[in-house]
Structure 1
């Protein structure tokens, strides 16, 4: 963070930055070619700006002026999405979080589900669709999480893409990235072709049925992914899909989870950033 500005609540602390700084140092060291030596922007400030957009939901061009120029910030955001740096940061923090919970890095069980959200006007019509069940025109986030609710695989499609089609693609990615997973819990929308596709990959798909039609009941196993969707909704940029490209939407999910996991690892809640006045506290 620049010493010339006051911190924002979304800024990474020293402890949180220490978790991910080596990845960005290595990334910058790999950057070669004309103009690279002249890049003077602090990568921590770029990360702070991305998290500010992610948490507050503002358009890029409305970034406060004490951040680097918004076009510069978005350029880094796009580069890190395209070259896998964003996902690398996310996966690093996920591995650390699993270790902190006493789990091995590679999970053996997972949960799958999808969430449809409306899109903004800048999303291409070809990347949108209508979820007939939810009556939502927009995009759909297909997620697989571990049993802690941490994201293992995510794809973003038009909302018209059926859960079974997205589920098959997710299981393929899961089998490649996490071959140790042999059990996945799902809802009724993932039966049939998804079940057979999972079996061919060595993954047993179990459908978790609702215990009763009356009242609210946390669904066994599946409630963890519903909580993950709740974590994502705390980041206003994800309440609606504002990204022009689906892959940028996927990156926003990774940044939201990175924000959540880094805070958990350092034991931090969102700071209030109150200015210390030196006055004694008021007691009743």
Structure 2
């Protein structure tokens, strides 16, 4: 990494050590006779992606001490397309599960949706209106494990019904995590989702709302509500700015990777920090 003052979103040495092997393997697979020299530090590319993810700025407004924004987006798109981002996210999730004494393959999951507004650059065909929340934009269909870490993510127009998206989500969950046999959901999912899950060997249970007045965390399902709170700490996800749904999905994976790597290294996201407290290196 070239010398510069660190940003709060930068990877510390400990966090980079968790993911460097995956990125190093990616670069090694693309190095050979006649290959142009790699001039950009992959750690700086990741730092730039996390800066956009955490602050919510347009890519073209990246500070000049990062690599060019078009280069950053090129890596972002390539890593999304070839599965590198997903691989890094899943690697961190498995490490986190083992740290909590859980086996890497999950056996249970929680599903829910989150509707967010879209920006002006999102095509009309890629968005819709959530009739329940009266929100025009996109809908995130998310499945997490019981720690709240993402297992499957699908991004659709907000007009897609929870049950329709829920069936697609269960299909992806069954394909990518066949060890999952139990799923908790809220009352927004119809019986067709329960039947769809049963056909895939997944027992879908609807968690009923507490009858008492006032706020009460819902049993089992509270973990995914906390996950949505984690996502909202990343300003790029407060509104969907991505032109393509798959780019939105990738931005969620980066946010979860950011959160999970901080947890694994015992780091937090303080509201202030002195120069001597900053764990990020500048050399």
The TM-score range, normalised by the shorter chain, is over 0.9
Give the match's secondary structure for 1:120. coil
In angstroms, what is the RMSD of aligned CA positions? 1.5
Which structure 2 residue ranges, 5 or more long, are not aligned?
Answer: 278-283
Paired residue for 1:261? 260
Shift of 1:217: 1.0
Paired residue for 2:173? 174
Distance 1:35 1:94 in 2: 37
Distance 2:193 2:268 in 1: 39
Which structure 1 residue ranges, 5 or more long, are not aligned?
Answer: 278-284
Paired residue for 1:77? 76
List per-residue Cα deviations over 1:184-234 (Å, max 9, x = no partner).
Answer: 000112122111110000000100011126211110000000000000000
Distance 2:190 2:251 in 1: 29
Stretch of structure 1 that moved more, 25-34 or 163-172: 25-34
Distance 2:91 2:167 in 1: 25
Paired residue for 2:274? 274
Paired residue for 1:149? 148
Give the match's secondary structure for 1:37. coil
Stretch of structure 1 that moved more, 261-270 or 34-43: 34-43
Give the match's secondary structure for 1:15. helix
- 1:53-92 equivalence runs, <5 A: 53-92=52-91
Give the match's secondary structure for 1:170. helix
Distance 1:121 1:145 in 2: 30
Give the match's secondary structure for 2:80. helix
Normalised TM-score (structure 1): 0.94
Paired residue for 2:280? none
1:45 maps onto 2:60 in alignment: no
Seen in structure 2, the aligned counterparts of structure 1 residues 190 and 137 have a Cα distance that, compared at 3 Å, is same
Give the match's secondary structure for 1:153. strand
Distance 1:111 1:276 in 2: 40
Q: Contact 1:191–1:207 (CA<8 Å) still a contact in 2? A: no
Shift of 1:32: 4.8
1:218 maps onto 2:211 in alignment: no
Distance 1:223 1:194 in 2: 20
Number of residue-to-residue matches in the alignment: 276
Distance 2:57 2:35 in 1: 29
Distance 1:32 1:137 in 2: 45
Stretch of structure 1 that moved more, 210-219 or 252-261: 210-219
Shift of 1:159: 0.2
Shift of 1:31: 1.3
Paired residue for 1:280? none
Shift of 1:273: 4.8
Could you say which structure has the greater relative contact order, defined with CA pairs below 8 angstroms and 6 or more residues apart? Answer: 2
Paired residue for 1:203? 202
